[in-house]
């Protein structure tokens, strides 16, 4: 029977994912600066990518490249012996989307700064309310 300490150490990557998710979520919710919110979103996305890569790996498995033997030999291929490449391929796409999202978010932050002169959420909302009433 494994102790709780051994279980925590054995699953360190999942603890890293949980920590990064909480840091990113905290930054998106609690911070008032738009750049800090964007960085929190990026940390959150990175944690999700790390989670999918973690669940896509398998101890003792190899990459899914089937080597062919000499002509006429036939052997069964056991799918359990290979790592599933689909989560890794999907996360490559997620990385591209993450970079594009970061670029668009930072471009919007620059536009907001040029319009309102600040990146603080409270000040921006205050200026919007002043422009609507005045």
User: How confident is residue 44, by pLDDT bands cut at 50, 70 and 90?
Assistant: very high
**Cα(102)–Cα(90) distance, rounded to whole angstroms?**
18
For the record, the structure tokens of 4 come out as 């709780």
Residue 73 within a domain:
no
In a domain, residue 70? The reply is no
Tally of domains within the chain: 1
pLDDT number for residue 4 = 81
Query: 2-11, 38-47, 68-77, 80-89: lowest mean pLDDT where?
Result: 68-77
Tokens of 60: 């003792």
> What is the domain extent for residue 121?
4-58+83-133
Is 41 a domain residue? yes
Q: pLDDT value at position 70?
A: 56
Whether 128 is covered by a domain: the verdict is yes
Tens digit of each residue's pLDDT (9 = 90 or more) over 50-63? 999 988 888 888 88
Round to whole Å and give the CA distance between 123 and 134: 16
In a domain, 11, yes or no: yes
CATH number, domain containing residue 119: 1.10.287.3510
pLDDT tens-digit map of 65-113: 777 655 555 667 777 888 888 888 999 999 999 999 999 999 999 999 9
pLDDT exceeds 90 at position 34:
yes
Q: What is residue 72's predicted lDDT score, i.e. its pLDDT?
A: 56
121 - beta bridge partners? none
The verdict on residue 71 lying in a domain is no
Half-sphere exposure of 28 (CA within 13 A, CB side): 14
């Amino acid at each position: 029977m494994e102790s709780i300490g051994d279980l925590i150490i054995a699953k360190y990557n999942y603890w890293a994912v949980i920590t990064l998710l909480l840091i990113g979520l905290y930054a998106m919710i609690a911070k008032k600066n738009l750049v800090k919110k964007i960085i929190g979103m990026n940390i959150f996305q990175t944690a999700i990518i790390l989670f999918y890569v973690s669940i896509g790996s398998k101890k003792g498995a190899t990459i899914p490249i089937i080597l062919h033997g000499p002509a006429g030999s036939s052997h069964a291929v056991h799918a359990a012996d290979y790592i599933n490449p689909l989560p890794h391929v999907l996360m490559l796409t997620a990385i591209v989307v993450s970079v594009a999202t970061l670029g668009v978010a930072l471009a919007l932050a620059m536009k907001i700064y040029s319009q309102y002169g600040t990146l603080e959420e409270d000040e921006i909302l205050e200026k919007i309310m002043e422009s609507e009433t005045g």
